[in-house]
Chains A and B, each alone.
Chain A
Amino acid sequence: MTDSTPHSPNSSPSPTRRSFLGTSGALMAAAIAVPTVLTRCRTLADTVPPPSPSESKGKAIRIGVIGCGGRGTGAAFDALKASPDTTIVALGDLFPDRVQGAAAGLAKNPRGVVPSSACFSGFDAYRKVLATDCDMVILATSPGFRPTHFAAAVDAGKHIFFEKPVAVDPSGIRTVLDASARAADRKLCIVTGTQRRHERCYIEAMAKIQDGAIGRPIAARCYWNQGGLWNKTPDPKLSEIENQIRNWLYYTWLSGDHIVEQHVHNIGVLNWAMGGAPLRCVATGGRQVRTEPAFGAINDHFSIHYEYSDDRLGASMCRQQDNTDGKVEEIIYGTEGTMLTTSGSAQCRGRNTWTFAGENPNPYVVEHVDLQEAVRGNAPYINEGKRIAESTMTAIMGRMSAYTGKDLEWSAALADPMDLVPKDPKPGPGMVQKVAMPGLA
């Protein structure tokens, strides 16, 4: 049967991230295994030029990078693209080879050349980056460390590009909320890596919803369904905890599990459309295909039902299982129509019809433009810390419910003492995690 709906992956007008993820087979697995495409696989949107740098001239911004994997390096390049008055001045990562790799890559851009004296490795590399005279930092390590790095960056008085997710547990979320408030007091600008908030098709779609294009939003649904990601074979020269960090996707204390690490993008859109975080949730999930120890103890699928204010439903699904159908999108149901959104497109159906048709500049660059313009004072002060903390917490709450089989209230989940991340990590044994057994935990 031919799938004739406009949001079918088969009928996409151009190869987008969705159709990319929908591709099955070894080709896709190989493509995804490249660290630079990690969870923010580049699309044709990258070929759309960002806003002209001439519009963004102003005060020079010196940037330090904390976390030099694919995402940190990619964000550094995006920051350089966003305006000409930016330079990368320091690099930090747990692993020396990561720092060297990033330094070599960034040196292709004259503004990205970092002297070896400003390249730091080890668990305390972030402190050394923060001790430089950079104005802004990119926080892009494994998510488990993000709250600590964020709080330290705020206390060091830096503006922050704050990659998602921003925590893996409620303790981390509370740290982020506190630090976000301190950042506001000091007018430190914070933009987060949920780039849909800076993507024109999303911004216009949400504005239309605000204007009543679909009536009152009554339900919403989102997917991040795709195949597996890369997996690193343990390096015998590294300690167990370092190997876990090297293969961080598969450890909840580091990634938050894939619902938090990846699906937070779509969950954040649901919160955007529904006007805030949900009140409670009930979730299922499991580890059906990826059962080998190489995949740590995380799940390979989740399904969450969120309850938003006034008993409105938010349904989410995410999976990482090879050779399954891929789809990454959101749909909002209103009393008078629906709004379908995905990277690069948006469409309204029902009483009002509309299809996003404008230019859609690369949102990974736009988010840096928006941050830098605010830092320079050319745009109003921006602080997305609280909002990304809520989006991340929404995903964490879903994971907690799926792991335990319990329904969860937002307030109880946020107050939960769960704290998965060691305070003073050092080379040695890894963290122990068992596969979640709902009801038997």
Chain B
Amino acid sequence: MTTEQTSGGITRRDFVAISSAAGMAAFIAPSVLGAQDTGSSLKPLKVALIGCGGRGSGAANQALKADKGVILWAVADVFPDRMDSCLKQFEKHPSKDRVQVPAERRFSGFDGYKQAIASGVDVVLLCSAPHFRPMHLAEAVAAGKHIFCEKPMFVDAPGYRSVVESVKAAKAKNINLMSGFCWRRSAPEAATFAQLEKGTLGTPMAMYSCYYTGPLGTNKRQPGWSDMEFQVRNWQHFTWLSGDQMVEQAVHSVDKVNWCFRNEPPKSAVGMGGRQLREAMPERGDVYDHFAIVYEWADGRRAFLNCRQEPDCYFENTDWIAGTKGQCFINGWGPTHVMKDPAGNVLWEYPADAPKSDMYQNEHDELFKAIRDGKVINDGEWMVVSNMMAVLGRMAAYSGQQVTWEQAIASTESLSPKQYIMGPLEMPLEKKPGQYKVV
């Protein structure tokens, strides 16, 4: 454990945390505005953005920066105002000439994604609330589009099975499928996990990963909003939409656990969690505000994962790995990436003077380069495991039972509402361990 807090800079996490229009507008800070972009002779790559919140706006910005031939061609969001506020941010963007989204290519409603994918684009950026991702992904793969797929990719086991099928289909079609597990595209993390793979730390026996942070913002209910609109606009506070913190946010830490354990799914998980601030923050749907999960592998190796979204508490987002030859400390925000032997001698350290890069930008740089070079990146096989491990942890915490990987992936519980219409929708109830069952 280290004392450093998370980075003060704007990160993807901040996009999610900032829900006000003012916060949204600030995402392209003046410091990142480069010289005016005059376009390029490259063959255009038309892009559709699906999901126009903070993350979608950020991804579109990164796509535009990644490749001079990128044209933002279409957008989709359940809510028209989200599309408008997103596009408004690009009015003074250096690449504003490559933002070509007239009113007829702004598609709203629950089905808008279909029209956006069918609008003649080459690439889609899937950045909506997580609940909708499996259907968006399936549609994009069926249409043969290259894909940037934000995490999480699904919120329940039916979603897992759908995404597994989409991954296979994408592979068969040689479609690029880049996941939003951004640490995988962070140079210091990549170097660290390469050292692990080389055996510098021996065999990893145990890992502790934590994501202690504050609560996410809320959108106050406005007159005229239906239950559905209220919930979708506050998706981060509803398990059916976000998957809960475990799946929506701490999944980044789970992904590093999966990376360390070489994409081998755990045998089972035991977990706990709760909604301790329910009286203080009643507007926060049915999600928990803290989780603690222990993952166990068949040979007895374990990983410990703790996360929290409570205000003014201790903040930490780091990883610690105990191997047979020493320990590894990772604080991506620090940044600290170091391996030490039991006597405290440094076995390996990511050089402090090594080049820094923006992992969010790297994702898009790599994706568009692969498309240009005719290569195929497909993150599918490991991204579904990381995502499902997070779902497994949530199931263990909600149920209070030891849940096996097989039980989790075979679960028939669908979190989907009966229908996607703006109208009445029951407020979901928080889960009670010992009462909620994994089915």
Q: Which of A5, A218, A284, A437 contacts B205 (CB under 8 A)?
A: A218
Judge if A338 is at the interface, Cβ distance under 8 Å: yes
B189-238 at interface with A (beta carbon < 8 Å): 202, 205-206, 208, 210, 212, 214
Q: Hey, which chain A residues are within 8 Å of B344, CB to CB?
A: 310
The interface bits of chain B over 24-60 (1 if a CB of A lies within 8 angstroms of the residue's CB, else 0) are 0000000000000000000000000000000000000
The CA-CA distance from A440 to B281 in the complex, in Å, is: 11
The CA-CA distance from A435 to B325 in the complex, in Å, is: 44
Q: Say whether B304 contacts A315, CB under 8 Å.
A: yes
Judge if B160 is at the interface, Cβ distance under 8 Å: no
Interface size class on chain A is 35 or more
| Least CB distance, B149 to chain A, in whole angstroms | 29
Q: Say whether B206 contacts A333, CB under 8 Å.
A: yes
- Given contact pairs A1-B407, A282-B316, A440-B312, A303 touches B322 in the complex (Cβ within 8 A): no
Q: Hey, which chain B residues are within 8 Å of A323, CB to CB?
A: 400, 434-435
Q: Hey, which chain A residues are within 8 Å of B80, CB to CB?
A: none
Q: Say whether B401 contacts A324, CB under 8 Å.
A: yes
Judge if B272 is at the interface, Cβ distance under 8 Å: yes
Judge if B387 is at the interface, Cβ distance under 8 Å: no
Judge if B365 is at the interface, Cβ distance under 8 Å: no
Q: Say whether A313 contacts B325, CB under 8 Å.
A: no
Q: Hey, which chain A residues are within 8 Å of B273, CB to CB?
A: 284, 286, 288, 301
Q: Hey, which chain A residues are within 8 Å of B402, CB to CB?
A: 3, 325, 327
Q: Say whether B1 contacts A311, CB under 8 Å.
A: yes
Judge if B357 is at the interface, Cβ distance under 8 Å: no
- Given contact pairs A333-B206, A349-B300, A303 touches B306 in the complex (Cβ within 8 A): yes
Q: Which of A221, A282, A324 contacts B433 (CB under 8 A)?
A: A324
Candidate in B277, B313, B329 with the most chain A CB atoms within 10 angstroms: B313
Q: Which of A59-67, A158-166, A399-407 contacts B (4 or more CB under 8 A)?
A: A399-407
The CA-CA distance from A317 to B208 in the complex, in Å, is: 14
The interface bits of chain B over 324-356 (1 if a CB of A lies within 8 angstroms of the residue's CB, else 0) are 110101000000000000101000000000000
Q: Say whether B206 contacts A218, CB under 8 Å.
A: yes
Q: Which of B308, B312, B430, B434 contacts A324 (CB under 8 A)?
A: B434
B291-318 at interface with A (beta carbon < 8 Å): 291-292, 294, 296, 298, 300, 302, 304, 306, 308, 310-314, 316
Judge if B270 is at the interface, Cβ distance under 8 Å: yes
Q: Hey, which chain B residues are within 8 Å of A218, CB to CB?
A: 205-206, 322, 327, 342
Q: Say whether A286 contacts B322, CB under 8 Å.
A: no
Q: Say whether A440 contacts B290, CB under 8 Å.
A: no
| Least CB distance, B3 to chain A, in whole angstroms | 8
The CA-CA distance from A327 to B320 in the complex, in Å, is: 25
Judge if A196 is at the interface, Cβ distance under 8 Å: no
- Top 8 closest A-B pairs, CB basis? A405-B313, A324-B400, A303-B292, A286-B274, A323-B434, A288-B274, A286-B276, A439-B312
The residues of B with any CB-CB pair to A shorter than 8 Å are 1, 202, 205-206, 208, 210, 212, 214, 267-268, 270, 272-277, 279-280, 288-292, 294, 296, 298, 300, 302, 304, 306, 308, 310-314, 316, 320, 322, 324-325, 327, 329, 342, 344, 399-402, 404-407, 430, 432-435
Q: 15 pairs across A/B with beta carbons < 8 Å?
A: A3-B404, A5-B300, A219-B206, A225-B270, A282-B306, A286-B290, A300-B274, A301-B273, A313-B206, A313-B208, A325-B270, A335-B342, A406-B314, A437-B276, A439-B312
Known: A288-B275, A335-B202, A439-B311. 16 other contacts (CB 8 A): A1-B406, A3-B267, A285-B290, A289-B433, A289-B435, A301-B433, A312-B322, A315-B208, A323-B400, A324-B399, A324-B400, A327-B270, A333-B302, A406-B313, A407-B1, A435-B276
